[in-house]
Amino acid sequence: MRRVSFSLCLMALLALALLTPVSAFPSMLRRRFQLKSILGGLADQGNNADAAVQPQVSTTGGTNNLQWVPDAAHAFQAPQSTDKRGPCPGLNAAANHGYLPRNGIVTLDQLVQAQQQVFNVAPDLGLTLAVIAVALDGDVLSERVSLGAAADSQTNSLGALGAVLGREGGLNNHNTFEADASLTRNDYYLSPDRNNFAFNGTLYKQMKSFAAQNGGLYNFDTMASYRYQRYLDSIADNGQFYFGPKVTLLYGAAAFLYRLMPNSTGLEGYGVPDEASISSFFGASYDATTDSYTHVPERIPANWRTRTTPYTLLDVVTDLNLMYLEHPAPFGVSTSRGNFVPSGAVLSNGVSTEDINGVGCALYQIILDNVPSEFDNVAITPLTVTNYIVSKLNPAFAQFGCQH
């Protein structure tokens, strides 16, 4: 098994795979289509999600693995004012239906289970997302995290002492799980009250306008184009915009709209990423009088069925890579509004399995690189958190031929 050391992975700090000049990308973009073919056309499934789809019929006359969500035990309830909600629409919806604790204080195991129950997220991906949330925004000793703002008394294992020595930021914490250039949330420095976690109806309307160019669907083409537009928006408007390797995790999150949120039909494992499904999960309520969107509590759409095939860590790494390559964006930082200083690095890959493995291994390194710069609780050292992540994720990332 290939071991990726910290020294070697420093070379990948400014990319998820290889650091390549922008001028090299015409050939990379051509190879993207070869990669899609080798990997079974995963991106094409997203592009063609508007095609007519019929459920698979089993020999017993029923549909194949179509599971209705929510069930009778998970009715929707709007959150109370003290319940924690944050920047992740899917997790907010899961909590509003009781798949996660309705107060928004959740454990690692609950996060993994809820992702599987609601969205059919495979254990390796569910564990990866849960570990990132707990390690970077929660308490590794109790394995608890807030879906929104920090909640020391409920999430840390040290009680009042923990609040003095440091705090867990919750998923609202900037530049760990949440980052600039998100789909429907403000950039942190563009919000006077720092509400980088709150739904922005103007941004949702902008995203919908991109879907309108693709038959009203939030498919691969829509999300790749809109993902890039949000990058350009942040360059233009945010004088403190940071776009580095860890921000590329947003590309994986954008793929969730057409991989996890559609109402499953069974034929391709998932269904059509239409407005009905996406607006419900995002809590986007349209007001025709003002032609604007306001926020309502996120909920699972009516008569909704989860995807029939598990969505794996390999799937999301592949989707992240393909979406980024559709509109390669140089990493860098802004020194003032409209003044973006690129680092000269972009994400690239070839067409072989080894290249995808490289993206997966570099993604693992990026998760670990986040710890020292963002960790806030002096009672628990960054090394403790790093060791926690490694102990949890080494088995999941072994499939890419890497471990720490």
Residues 234-247: what's their mean pLDDT? 89
> Which of 19, 142, 131 has the alpha carbon at shortest distance from 371?
131
Q: What is the pTM of this model?
A: 0.79
pLDDT tens for 42-92 read 333 333 333 322 223 222 233 345 688 999 899 999 999 999 999 999 999
DSSP 8-state symbol, 96: H
Q: How far apart are CA 176 and CA 171, in angstroms?
A: 8
Computed over every residue of the chain, the mean pLDDT equals: 78
Q: How far apart are CA 137 and CA 120, in angstroms?
A: 24
Q: Band the pLDDT of 386: cuts 50, 70, 90.
A: confident
Per-residue model confidence (pLDDT) at position 107: 94
Q: Band the pLDDT of 25: cuts 50, 70, 90.
A: very low
Q: Tell whether 283 is covered by a domain.
A: yes
Q: Tell whether 114 is covered by a domain.
A: yes
Which residue did the predictor score with more confidence, 116 or 25? 116
pLDDT tens for 307-325 read 999 999 999 999 999 999 9
Residues 90, 16, 179: CA angle, nearest 5 degrees: 40
Q: How far apart are CA 216 and CA 210, in angstroms?
A: 8
Q: Tell whether 60 is covered by a domain.
A: no
Domain with 267 in it: 6-51+84-400
Q: How far apart are CA 69 and CA 74, in angstroms?
A: 8
Number of domains in the chain: 1
* Helix (H), strand (E) at residue 7: helix 6-9
Residues 338-355: what's their mean pLDDT? 66
Q: Tell whether 115 is covered by a domain.
A: yes
Which residue did the predictor score with more confidence, 353 or 132? 132
Q: Band the pLDDT of 11: cuts 50, 70, 90.
A: very low
Q: Tell whether 91 is covered by a domain.
A: yes
Helix, strand, coil tally for the chain in percent (to 5) = 45, 10, 45
Q: Tell whether 390 is covered by a domain.
A: yes
Q: Tell whether 246 is covered by a domain.
A: yes
CATH number at residue 264: 1.10.489.10
Q: Tell whether 79 is covered by a domain.
A: no
Structure token pair of residue 189: 């420095």
The pLDDT > 90 percentage for the chain reads: 51
